[in-house]
Structure 1
Amino acid sequence: MANKAVVVYSGGMDSYTVLHKALSENDEIYAISFNYGQKHNKELIIAAQVCQELNIPHKVVDITAINSLMAGSSLTLDSDEAIPEGDYEDANMKSTVVPNRNMVLISMAIAYAVSLEASKVYYGAHSGDHDIYPDCRPEFVEAMNAVSLIANYQAVEIIAPFLKSSKAEILASGLAMNLDYSKTWTCYNGREKACGKCGSCLERLASFKQHNLIDPIKYEI
């Protein structure tokens, strides 16, 4: 039986690296992305382009019908609140939390994995997310994995390979694989160029700076 895995793929820098790591560890990869009403839905276009280039089956699942149940985040189109600027340590970045997002998305990815008879679901949580996002912390991943192993007749393992890694360490892993990060979108704003001011952009820029590299995507700043 082929070694199959599902990758929750946002089109961002972290999930792009996870996607390639999964490709190196499995025979068959199936990518799944979600339209949950995010303002930065440009990431879905980037994700589709990458999967087409890699010839990876890619599902984009529209869950905007439940957007009202996940409301209250500055990241979603239902909110008039501007995307906050500043580092992730800043209290205002908590406005970017989408209620229960990862539990919902991972649950759907698990269902997809079961339908494919895949044994693993990968997703790109990392240590830089821990302060702001509860659903990216080790205790959440461990609990979700425990549930996933017993939730169906077929056990599915949740794998977050960079759970305890920094953004710079993720970048180092990707550079070792010769990945092209111009094929990613990280900014919380979905404009033509990345804003360079939101927490996501600042963290990304800092990771390239740590490696004495220039980020290959274009910024407004």
Structure 2
Amino acid sequence: MTEKAVVIYSGGMDSFTILNKAYKEGYELYALTFDYGQKHSKEIAYATRVCEELGISHRIIDITAINQLLQSSSLTSSIEIPEGHYADDNMKSTMVPNRNMILLSLAIGYAIDIGASKVFYGAHSGDHAIYPDCRPEFVHAMNDVARIANYEPVEIVTPYLSGDKITILKDGLAMGLDYGKSWTCYNGRDKACGKCGSCVERLEAFELNNAVDPLEYES
């Protein structure tokens, strides 16, 4: 019997790579995309199309009610989204309080419900400095909790925990992935802004991999 696995799939570059990696490894995949009240739903539309193309079970979960508790983030409130590199201190405003713990908890519950043994998500070393819930100590602690919180143990799998966006893209390009099928920009306009931290990091990864991003940019 094929092993079942849940993938937390935002539609962004990192989770797009992980979804395809797990798909190619032969897992029976169940993708979860969360609408938690982020400023736009463009990533969700990208995620939907990819799952339809691959024939992967895909559920979009509306948890927008939590948005009223998470107004300190520029991704979920009227606070202006900062521009620049993730290394810049102003990028801390893009931290959504406790987001990954919330999403992982829901994904683990779903995995148990459908008999899946693993939950994949896209934490990587490039996010360690700014996002505490992408750091190894958080992932290891959540894995410990996942093993004891229910009768059925579930493993949290983070293939790129010790790698960065450059590593992720290198792996994806080696798999022949089309990154025009992913959306990374924090803004949901027709073209990617090219200025937010997510765009800057993505463009940097393409440059360092000697590749051209297929997405169109405003600048």
Fold shared, TM-score > 0.5 on shorter chain:
yes
Partner of 1:163: 161
Partner of 1:64: 64
TM score, norm. by length of structure 2: 0.98
List runs of 5+ in structure 1 lacking aligned partners: none
SS of the residue corresponding to residue 158 of structure 1 reads strand
- Aligned counterpart in structure 2 of residue 184 of structure 1, from 175, 182, 185: 182
Partner of 1:121: 119
Q: Percent identity?
A: 64
Partner of 2:213: 215
SS of the residue corresponding to residue 6 of structure 1 reads strand
Q: Distance in 1 between matches of 2:216 and 2:132?
A: 30
Cα distance, 1:211–1:27 mapped onto 2, change above 3 Å: closer
Partner of 1:205: 203
Q: What amino acid is aligned across from residue 64 of structure 2 in structure 1? A: T
SS of the residue corresponding to residue 46 of structure 1 reads helix
Partner of 1:150: 148
TM score, norm. by length of structure 1: 0.97
Q: CA deviation at 1:68?
A: 1.3
Deviations 1:105-156 (A, max 9, x none): 0100001100110000000011110111000000000000110011111100
List runs of 5+ in structure 2 lacking aligned partners: none
Cα distance, 1:37–1:20 mapped onto 2, change above 3 Å: same
State whether structure 2 residue 91 is matched by structure 1 residue 98: no
Contact 1:3 1:28 in 2 (8 A): yes
- In angstroms, what is the RMSD of aligned CA positions? 0.9
Deviations 1:170-221 (A, max 9, x none): 0010011100000000001111111000110000000000111111001000
Q: Distance in 2 between matches of 1:100 and 1:116?
A: 25
SS of the residue corresponding to residue 201 of structure 2 reads helix
Point out 4+ residue stretches in structure 1 off by more than 2 angstroms.
24-27
SS of the residue corresponding to residue 67 of structure 2 reads helix
